C-alpha cells in the first residue's frame, strides 16, 4: 500500500480549479452534506410518506428538490466523489478495508467515535447550511460572509478543543 | 457570460456535469490524502498540515479565479450561489462541526472519499452523518428558530467588513502564505525526522512572491459591473458618448398614443416609482440593468427604450450601461421626470433644463426638433400640451392604481451543501 500523496499545494490548486469550474459552469459550489440530507429525505419519504409531508423540514426539502430528492445535483456529485475516490485508490494502490485510529485507542472505539463525529457533522451542517465543502470551501471562493464564519468556527473549535481529544489521535 | 446554468445547460445535463465534477473532486481529495482520518486530524496536532495547505490553496485559487473572471465580465456573480448568512446558525453549526471533526476525524466530503477506498471508519462516519441529519430533521421544530435567526441574506465578507473585494483577497492570500510558512516550521518542530519540508529553496520563494504579487494585482481588479458603473459615472465619458434623445412632447405623444414600439425604462428607486409612474413604464434601477431577467425587455430591438430618471445624467448613465451591454435603440428623455410632469401636465413654462441640457452643454447645439421655427409651432405645442395634460393626468393616475409591484424574480441557481 502506497502512502505517498500528491503535493498538497498541487492538490489544492487542482481542487481550486475544480471548484472554479463548478462555479463557472453551474453557478454553484461543491458540496457533500447536501447529498446526505437528500438520502435521509428520500428514505423518510419512502418509509413514512405521511410523516414526511407533515414535517416542515422534510416537506420544505422535498419541495426544493422537486419531490425527487435523489435526482439532486449534489447526489450526482457525491456519486462522482465515490467513483473518483475509488479510481484514485486504484491508481495509487490504496484500496483496503482498514480502520485508522490513533495509537491509544482500539478499533471499536474509533468506529464509535467516527459515528459520533459523523452525527455531529450531520447536525452541524444543517444549522450552517453546509459543511467543510459547501459552506467553508465554496463559501471562501465566493467570499460569502456566512461561509467564512462557518469555516472559522469549524477550525477554531477544532483547535480550541484539540487538547481535550488528544488521546484519540496522538 | 458564465455561469452556463440555468440558461444554457439543462437540468439533465447539469446532473452529468455534477457527476464529472464529483469524479474530479473525489479523485483529488483521495490523492491529497484526505481519505485518511489520521492525516486530516494532523492539522489540529501539528504533525500534518496537509488539510490547511490543500484547503487554503484551493480556496485562494478559486477565489482569485472568481475575481479575475468577474473583472473580465465573463462571470456574472449575481448568478452565482452565495451561501446565505444566518449568523447564529453559521457559528453554532461551525462549532458543532468543529467537535465532529476532532472526534470523527473526517468531514462529509473526505469521509465519502475515504469510504470509496474502503476505510471502515469513514463508512461509520457517513453512517453517523445520516443519523445526524435525521436527528436534526426530527428535532427541527426545536431548531427552526435558531437556524433561521438573523437572516442577513447573501452577503459577502468584504462588504461586511467594509473593504474592497480585491483587498480582502490580498489579505486572504497573505494569511495563506504566512500560514504555509508557519505550519511548515511547526511540523518540523513537532517531528524533526518527519517528511516536513522547509521553504529554503529558491523556487519556493519565487512561488510565494508570485502568489503575493497576484494578490496585489487582485486589489486593482474591480468587478466588471462596478468598473462599468464607475466608467459611465465619469462626466467625460458621458460627454464623449452622446445618446439619442427624446423630447418631453414626443414622449407625451407616444404615451398617449400607447405606442407599442416604445418602452419606458424608469431607473428611479422602486419607492419613487410606486409613488408616481409614467403609464407603461418599467422600473429597472441602474444597477439592475445588468440582470438577465431584464434582458428580454431591453433586448427587444424593434422597440425604442427611453430611459427616464430624476436626473438626466442618471438616465444617461443607465442608457450608456445598456448600450455597453449591447442593447440597441437606446434613448434618454430630455430633462428629468419632474420636468416632464411640470411641462406636460402642469403646463409650467419650459425651463432650460428640459432642452437636453447635456447635449447643449457638450455638443453646443440643441437637438433639431427643439428649435422652434415659428410662433405657429409654439402655439401647436401649447395646444398639444393642454390636451395632453388632461389625458396624461388620468393615465398616470390609472397607472399608479393598477401598478403591480414588479416581482424581483431572479432565476438563481440552487446551491448549498
Model confidence at A119, pLDDT cuts 50, 70, 90, reads very high
A149 part of a folded domain: yes
Residue B331 to chain A, least CA–CA distance (Å): 33
Q: Is B89 on the interface with A (CB under 8 A)?
A: yes
Average pLDDT over chain B reads 84
Give me the domain span that covers residue B248.
230-402
A2 part of a folded domain: no
Are B156 and B237 found together in one domain? no
Chain pair A-B, CB pairs under 8 angstroms: 571
Are A25 and A39 found together in one domain? yes
Cell of A37: 440530507
Q: How many domains does one find in chain A? A: 2
Instruction: Name which of A14, A85, A160 is nearest B26 (Cβ-Cβ).
Output: A85
With 60 as the cut, is the pLDDT of residue B96 above it? yes
Determine the pLDDT at residue B61.
95
Residue A58 to chain B, least CA–CA distance (Å): 7
Are A104 and A166 found together in one domain? yes
Q: Which residues of A touch B59 (CB under 8 A)?
A: 16, 137, 140-141
Are B312 and B374 found together in one domain? yes
Cα-based torsion angle of the residue sequence B322, B325, B328, B329 in order, rounded to the nearest 10 degrees: 10
- Partner-chain contact B156 A33, CB within 8 Å: no
A1 part of a folded domain: no
Determine the pLDDT at residue B238.
85
Average pLDDT over chain A reads 92
With 90 as the cut, is the pLDDT of residue A71 above it? no
A3 part of a folded domain: no
Task: Please give the Cα distance from B149 to B93 (Å, whole number).
Answer: 13
Cα-based torsion angle of the residue sequence B160, B161, B167, B173 in order, rounded to the nearest 10 degrees: -90
Residue B314 to chain A, least CA–CA distance (Å): 30
pLDDT tens, residue by residue, B297-340: 888 888 899 999 988 888 899 999 998 888 888 999 888 888 88
CB atoms < 10 A from the CB of B208, how many?
Answer: 16
Best mutation target among A31, A126, A156, A166 (most B Cβ atoms within 10 Å) is: A126
Check if the beta carbon of residue B105 is closer than 8 Å to that of residue A117.
yes
Check if the beta carbon of residue B312 is closer than 8 Å to that of residue B358.
yes
Domain finish residue from A96, A124, A157:
A96
β-sheet bridge partners, residue B306: B264, B331
- Partner-chain contact A20 B86, CB within 8 Å: no
The position carrying cell 480582502 is B168
Instruction: Name which of A15, A100, A124 is nearest B96 (Cβ-Cβ).
Output: A124
Residue A127 to chain B, least CA–CA distance (Å): 5
Q: Which residues of B touch A94 (CB under 8 A)?
A: 30, 35, 117
| Mean per-residue pLDDT, B182-200 | 77
Task: List Cβ neighbours of B250 (8 Å cut-off, separation of 6 or more).
Answer: B369
Residue B88 to chain A, least CA–CA distance (Å): 9
Domain finish residue from A40, A71, A96:
A96
Q: Which residues of B touch A20 (CB under 8 A)?
A: 61-62, 65-66
pLDDT tens, residue by residue, B247-302: 888 888 898 888 889 999 999 988 888 888 888 888 998 888 887 778 888 888 88
Check if the beta carbon of residue B77 is closer than 8 Å to that of residue B70.
yes
pLDDT tens, residue by residue, B34-75: 999 999 999 999 888 999 999 999 999 999 999 999 888 888
Domain finish residue from B193, B223, B253:
B223
How far is residue B131 from each of residues A37, A115, B93, measured CA to CA in Å?
10, 9, 16
Q: How many domains does one find in chain B? A: 2
Are A16 and A90 found together in one domain? yes
B367 part of a folded domain: yes
Tell me whether 0.90 is exceeded by the ipTM. yes
A138 part of a folded domain: yes
Task: Please give the Cα distance from B236 to B410 (Å, whole number).
Answer: 33
B417 part of a folded domain: no
Percent share of chain A, pLDDT over 70: 98
Give the least confident one: A67-76, B291-300, B341-350, B365-374.
B365-374
Task: Please give the Cα distance from A89 to B114 (Å, whole number).
Answer: 9
pLDDT tens, residue by residue, A4-47: 899 999 999 999 999 999 999 998 999 999 999 999 999 999 99
DSSP structure string for A49-74: HHHHHHSHHHHHHHHHTTT-TTSSHH
Q: Which residues of B touch A127 (CB under 8 A)?
A: 89-90, 92-93, 96, 136, 143, 146-147
Residue B315 to chain A, least CA–CA distance (Å): 31
Q: Is B99 on the interface with A (CB under 8 A)?
A: yes
H or E stretch at B306: strand B304-308
Give me the domain span that covers residue A45.
8-96
Instruction: Name which of B47, B65, B157 is nearest A20 (Cβ-Cβ).
Output: B65
Instruction: Name which of B129, B155, B157 is nearest A121 (Cβ-Cβ).
Output: B129
With 90 as the cut, is the pLDDT of residue B24 above it? yes
Q: Which residues of A touch B39 (CB under 8 A)?
A: 5
- Partner-chain contact B80 A166, CB within 8 Å: no
Amino acid at each position: 500500500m502506497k502512502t505517498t500523496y500528491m503535493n498538497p499545494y498541487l492538490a489544492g490548486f487542482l481542487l481550486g480549479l475544480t471548484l472554479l469550474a463548478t462555479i463557472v459552469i453551474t453557478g454553484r459550489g461543491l458540496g457533500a452534506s447536501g447529498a446526505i440530507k437528500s438520502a435521509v429525505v428520500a428514505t423518510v419519504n419512502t418509509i413514512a410518506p405521511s410523516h414526511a409531508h407533515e414535517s416542515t423540514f422534510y416537506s420544505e426539502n422535498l419541495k426544493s428538490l422537486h419531490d425527487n430528492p435523489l435526482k439532486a445535483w449534489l447526489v450526482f456529485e457525491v456519486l462522482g466523489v465515490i467513483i473518483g475516490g475509488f479510481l484514485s485508490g486504484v491508481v495509487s494502490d490504496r484500496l483496503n478495508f482498514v480502520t485508522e485510529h490513533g495509537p491509544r485507542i482500539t478499533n471499536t472505539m474509533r468506529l464509535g467515535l467516527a459515528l459520533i463525529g459523523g452525527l455531529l457533522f450531520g447536525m452541524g451542517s444543517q444549522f450552517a447550511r453546509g459543511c467543510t465543502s459547501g459552506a467553508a470551501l465554496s463559501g471562501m471562493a465566493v467570499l460569502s460572509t456566512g461561509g467564512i464564519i462557518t469555516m472559522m468556527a469549524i477550525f477554531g473549535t477544532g483547535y480550541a478543543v484539540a487538547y481535550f481529544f488528544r488521546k484519540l489521535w496522538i | 457570460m458564465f455561469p452556463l446554468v440555468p440558461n444554457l445547460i439543462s437540468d439533465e445535463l447539469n446532473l452529468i456535469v455534477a457527476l464529472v465534477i464529483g469524479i474530479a473532486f473525489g479523485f483529488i481529495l483521495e490523492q491529497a490524502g484526505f481519505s485518511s482520518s489520521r492525516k486530516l486530524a494532523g492539522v489540529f496536532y501539528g504533525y500534518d498540515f496537509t488539510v490547511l495547505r490543500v484547503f487554503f490553496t484551493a480556496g485562494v485559487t478559486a477565489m482569485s479565479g472568481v475575481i479575475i473572471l468577474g473583472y473580465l465580465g465573463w462571470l456574472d456573480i449575481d448568478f452565482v450561489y452565495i451561501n446565505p448568512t444566518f449568523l447564529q446558525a453559521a457559528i453554532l453549526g461551525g462549532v458543532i462541526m468543529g467537535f465532529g471533526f476532532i472526534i470523527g476525524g473526517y468531514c462529509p466530503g473526505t469521509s465519502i472519499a475515504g469510504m470509496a477506498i474502503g476505510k471502515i471508519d469513514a463508512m461509520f462516519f457517513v453512517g453517523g452523518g445520516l443519523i445526524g441529519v435525521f436527528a436534526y430533521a426530527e428535532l427541527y421544530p426545536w431548531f427552526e428558530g435558531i437556524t433561521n435567526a438573523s437572516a442577513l441574506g447573501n452577503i459577502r465578507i468584504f462588504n461586511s467588513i467594509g473593504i474592497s473585494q480585491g483587498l480582502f483577497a490580498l489579505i486572504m492570500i497573505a494569511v495563506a502564505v504566512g500560514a504555509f510558512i508557519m505550519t511548515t516550521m511547526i511540523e518540523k518542530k513537532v517531528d524533526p525526522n518527519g517528511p516536513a519540508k522547509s521553504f529554503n529553496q529558491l523556487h519556493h520563494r519565487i512561488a510565494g512572491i508570485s502568489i503575493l504579487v497576484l494578490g496585489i494585482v487582485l486589489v486593482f481588479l474591480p468587478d466588471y459591473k462596478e468598473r462599468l458603473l464607475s466608467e459611465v459615472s465619469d462626466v467625460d465619458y458621458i460627454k464623449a458618448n452622446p445618446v439619442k434623445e427624446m423630447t418631453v412632447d414626443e414622449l407625451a405623444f407616444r404615451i398617449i398614443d400607447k405606442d407599442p414600439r416604445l418602452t419606458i425604462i424608469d431607473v428611479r428607486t422602486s419607492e419613487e416609482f410606486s409613488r408616481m409612474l409614467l403609464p407603461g413604464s418599467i422600473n429597472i434601477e441602474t444597477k439592475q440593468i445588468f440582470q438577465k431577467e431584464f434582458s428580454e425587455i431591453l433586448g427587444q430591438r424593434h422597440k425604442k427604450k427611453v430611459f427616464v430618471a430624476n436626473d438626466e445624467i442618471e438616465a444617461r448613465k443607465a442608457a450608456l450601461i445598456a448600450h455597453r451591454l449591447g442593447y440597441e435603440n437606446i434613448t434618454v428623455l430630455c430633462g428629468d421626470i419632474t420636468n416632464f410632469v411640470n411641462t406636460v401636465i402642469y403646463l409650467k413654462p419650459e425651463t432650460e433644463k428640459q432642452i437636453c441640457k447635456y447635449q447643449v452643454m457638450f455638443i453646443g447645439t440643441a437637438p433639431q426638433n427643439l428649435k422652434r421655427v415659428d410662433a405657429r409651432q409654439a402655439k401647436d405645442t401649447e395646444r398639444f400640451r393642454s390636451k395632453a395634460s388632461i389625458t396624461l393626468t388620468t393615465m398616470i393616475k390609472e397607472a399608479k392604481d393598477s401598478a403591480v409591484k414588479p416581482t424581483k424574480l431572479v432565476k438563481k441557481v440552487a446551491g448549498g451543501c
